[in-house]
Amino acid sequence: MRLVTFDPLRALDVPGAVYIKPAWMFHERERLLDADWVLFPETWQVNALHYGFKVRMFPSVAGYHLGFNKIEMTRAFWSVCPANVPRTLILPNNPNGREQVLDEMSFPLVIKEPRNSMGRGVFLVESLSEFRKTIATMDILYVQEHLPIQEDLRVVYVGERIAAAYWRRGGDGFHHNIAKGARPDFKEIPESALGLVEKVACELGIDYAGFDVAMVDHHPFLLEFNLLFGNDVLNARRIRLGPSIVEYLGKRLPA
C-alpha cells in the first residue's frame, strides 16, 4: 500500500508510511492523490482532505468530527447508548442555563471544557462558590453528575476490534489519567465495558480511539474518546498498533 502520514510518531510501526509535514499538504497534492491512505492528519486538515482531495483517511472522518468536541461527542453517545452516558447538561452560560444546572444537579458535580484532553479542563465542583468561579469565563456549560468511582478504564479500539484495555487506578484522587499519575492494570477487564465500546465504535464509524469508561455497580458509563490518546502504557507492554492498522487498511481497499 502507498501510505502517507502527517504524524510520524503515530505511524512509527506502520511499514512504508511516508511522512509529509502538515503545512506542506497543498504542495504535496499529487503525492496525496496517489496515496492509498492518508494517515493521522491534524484536525484543521480533515475537511480539505475529505471533501476537497477526497482521499481515504485514517482515522475516520467521524472520529475527527465527533472527537474534537465533548458536546458533539456526548450528543452522538445519546443517540446510540443513552443508558450508558452519565447525566449531562449542555446549556448556554446565561442566567437561565445556570439556574437549570442548580435546579437539576447536586454537588459535587463535574464541569468540563468542551475542547480539552488528558484530564485538562475537567473540574470537580463541590459548592456554589466553586461553581460560579469555574464557569466565569465559559460560554457553554457542560455539566455532568459526579460518578462514585476510584478508577476508570481505557479501551483502545483500532480498525474493527479492541487492541488493548486496562484500568487506570489512582491518579490525583479525581482525575484517573496516566498523565495525572494513575497506574495501569490489565487484569479483570469487564466484558460489558468492552461490548459497549465495540457497539459505539461500530455505530458511529470510529476506527481509532482511546475510549474512557467508568464502571458503577457493574454498569458501564461512557465518558469520552480521544483520537490522540497516549501510547506510553502500550509501548511499555510492547503492544504495537501498527500491524492492526495495516491489516484494517488493507481490507478496506477496493478489490
Average pLDDT by consecutive 10-residue portion of the chain (255 residues)?
96 95 97 98 97 98 94 97 98 97 96 76 94 95 94 96 94 71 91 98 98 97 94 93 96 90
Q: β-strand 182-185 against 208-216: which pairing, if any?
A: unpaired
Residue 94's φ and ψ, nearest 5 degrees, are -135, 175
Residue 111's φ and ψ, nearest 5 degrees, are -115, 135
Pick the CATH number of 69-82+149-240 from 3.30.470.10, 3.40.50.300, 3.20.20.80, 3.30.470.20: 3.30.470.20
Fold of 87-145: Dna Ligase; domain 1 (3.30.1490)
The Cα 214–Cα 229 span in angstroms is: 17
Q: How far apart are the two ends of the chain, measured CA to CA in Å?
A: 13
- Answer yes or no: are the C-beta atoms of 166 and 153 closer than 8 Å: yes
Counting beta carbons within 10 angstroms of the beta carbon of residue 124, is it exposed (0 to 12), middle (13 to 18) or buried (19 or more)? middle
* pLDDT recorded at residue 120: 72
CA distances in angstroms from 207 to 44, 136, 153, listed in the order given: 19, 37, 18
CA angle at residue 96 from 90 to 100, to 5 degrees?
Answer: 60
DSSP letter assigned to residue 24: G
The reported pTM is 0.93
In the chain, where the domains are located: 3-58, 69-82+149-240, 87-145
